[in-house]
Homo-oligomer: A and B are copies of this chain.
Amino acid sequence: MELTVYLAGQIHDNWRDEVKKKSRERSLPLSFVGPMENHSRSDDIGEEILGEQPGNIAKDDAASDFNNLRTQVLLGKSDIVIALFGEKYKQWNSAMDASAAIAMNKPLIIVRPKDLHHPLKELSNKANVTVENVDQALQAISYIFEEE
């Protein structure tokens, strides 16, 4: 049994590479999907495909069309969702993806620094598991496959 894991969260640093590297080190039977991690391309994808848009709101609306298309396909194909939250950025689309996962009955693991427990309390309460770092998230998934 191989599982597909969607990695929701900010795209400002390379935390997904850490997840993938540590998963390989543990030889976990996982494949990973997620959003476009090139931040400026993610912002520009609407104009890249459709051409210049009339203003920033229209540009953002066009970009989100393509980003949401990608998310809908890949989240739909995944078995587990890991959503990472950090101090910086609004991260409302991370909360959106996490909540969508719950609604689609896909198991959800939240990764967040301990001191974010208060603003995340309702979301953590609905998630399967809340942990503080990527290692713990992979331990949780590894446990699914372990036999003793």
Q: Which residues of A line the B interface, CB within 8 A?
A: 1, 3, 31, 33, 36-38, 41, 45, 48-50, 54-58, 60-61, 63-74, 76-77, 79-80, 85, 89-93, 95-100, 102-105, 107, 109, 114, 116-126, 128-129, 131-132, 136, 139-140, 143-144, 146-148
As for how many copies of this chain the complex holds, the number is 8
Complex partner residue of A73 from B70, B80, B91, B136, CB under 8 angstroms? B80
Q: Is A146 within 8 A of B61, CB to CB? A: no
- A65 to B114, alpha carbons, bound, how many Å? 17
Note all chain B residues with C-beta closer than 8 A to A121: 60-61, 63-64, 93
- A136 to B46, alpha carbons, bound, how many Å? 11
- A60 to B68, alpha carbons, bound, how many Å? 21
Q: Is B58 within 8 A of A58, CB to CB? A: yes
Complex partner residue of A54 from B55, B73, B77, B102, CB under 8 angstroms? B55
Note all chain B residues with C-beta closer than 8 A to A122: 64, 67-68, 71, 92-93, 96
- A128 to B140, alpha carbons, bound, how many Å? 22
Q: Is B136 within 8 A of A119, CB to CB? A: no
Note all chain B residues with C-beta closer than 8 A to A3: 73
